[in-house]
Amino acid sequence: MAERRDVVIIGAGAAGMMCAIEAGRRGRRVLVVDHARAPGEKIRISGGGRCNFTNIHAGPKNFLSANPHFCKSALARYTPRDFLDLVERHRIPWHEKTLGQLFCDNSAKDIIAMLLAEMKAAGTELRLSTPIGAVEHDGRAFRVVTEHGTVEASSLVVATGGKSIPKMGATGFAYRIAEQFGLTVTETRAGLVPLTLDPAMLAAHEGLPGVAVDVVARHGKAEFREAALFTHRGLSGPAILQISSYWREGEEIALTLCPDVDFAAAIAAARRENGRQAVQTVLAEHMPKKLAQLLVTELGIDGPLAEQSGRRIEALLQRLRDWRLRPPGSEGYRTAEVTLGGVDTAALDSRSMAAKAVPGLYFIGEAVDVTGWLGGYNFQWAWASGHAAGGHA
């Protein structure tokens, strides 16, 4: 005998929990199932343990999707202010870090506790450590077969996220269910991910791991002005993670180093004042010494500033303005913060997240082909899409 509920939500992550709260408030009998031992594991580790839970500037322009209009409806109906109101009602201390990014003062666990309290208040039930065997549909109800019995419901919400960080239980489950019901899944790839450099370049960059520098990172029309970080494998830091979502394997990215500094003026002034100093000494006034050294070495610049030809200095300025790098790959899903692509938005209704062709079936959160920038946007999408589905399921 199957248990009966109105709504079964698979996945107790950010989107699934928000959906449960909203559906429960409407009086629906909601069961959330997850194969993990704890809910909201990605919330727990997010933002360095302090959860960048939203971004006050979040809008459709901050998301990548085959259909950039799809996210508009849900984002407009559940805004960063709505989530912030919830956070404030629970007296969770928070602060804005930079660029509209809101973080908990204390711990990401505050957000998980808040969501669990809201789920409880809404009368929903959470079942953890429950692997899913199969999902069946007889045209009327969905049957979710789990290791702990079968549950039947008229609505099924798939909130199992993307493929990033498989070590934390990420699976391609949502894509499999989408395909089972005839929905298209767009190509998936790792996003917000560190990029690798080839071994020869890494050898030349020996000593740089740990060095950070302000950059504008560019790829096509996308550009992000934040920090870049050299690592043992290649490049990371917010600017690189951001641009990685626009980049594809083997393509070039361009970096402007220290965009606030007018290096042409700085070098000209240094030449007038003390032409005997080394070029890297001038650069090191504005960037880490090791990076300054690498740049002059790579361009074969040696000796005092006064002895450098105009051509050499121009080559250096060009490198500072427009450093072209061709990362051969990324660190992949192992470290990616998100999965780009996913359940095709063409198959979903943008107001409710319902599958147009399968009444009662919903996809929310990262599983859907909507991916945010770094900076609290991905959680905002999880809250907004969860809220949208919870209002209908």
Per CB under 6 A, residues contacting ligand FDA are: 10-16, 34-36, 41-42, 45-47, 51-52, 132, 159-161, 164-165, 169, 171, 173, 337-338, 365-367, 376-379, 382
| Nearest residue (CB) to ligand FDA, 360 versus 372 | 372
The 3-class secondary structure across 111-151, one letter per residue, is HHHHHHHHHHHCCCEEECCCCEEEEEECCCCEEEEECCEEE
| Nearest residue (CB) to ligand FDA, 301 versus 389 | 389
Q: Which DSSP string corresponds to 72-103?
A: HHHHHHS-HHHHHHHHHHTT--EEE-STTEEE
SS3 label, residue 354: strand
* Cβ neighbours of residue 62 closer than 8 Å, sequence gap 6 or more: 55, 372, 373, 375, 377
| Nearest residue (CB) to ligand FDA, 2 versus 45 | 45
For the chain, how far is it from start to end, CA to CA, in angstroms? 23
Burial (0-12, 13-18, 19+ Cβ within 10 Å), 299? middle
CB of 348 vs ligand FDA, minimal distance in Å:
14
* Cβ neighbours of residue 29 closer than 8 Å, sequence gap 6 or more: 4, 5, 6, 7, 123
CB 253 within 8 Å of CB 293 = no
CB of 175 vs ligand FDA, minimal distance in Å:
11
CB of 310 vs ligand FDA, minimal distance in Å:
47
Query: Which residue sits closest to ligand FDA, CB atoms considered?
Result: 13
Q: How far is CA 64 from CA 16, 45, 338, in A?
A: 21, 23, 12
CB of 41 vs ligand FDA, minimal distance in Å:
6
| Nearest residue (CB) to ligand FDA, 291 versus 374 | 374
| Nearest residue (CB) to ligand FDA, 51 versus 316 | 51
| Nearest residue (CB) to ligand FDA, 42 versus 286 | 42
CB of 255 vs ligand FDA, minimal distance in Å:
24
CB of 212 vs ligand FDA, minimal distance in Å:
19
Q: Which amino acid is at 122?
A: A
CB of 224 vs ligand FDA, minimal distance in Å:
16
| Nearest residue (CB) to ligand FDA, 97 versus 137 | 97
Sign of CA dihedral 265, 268, 269, 274: positive
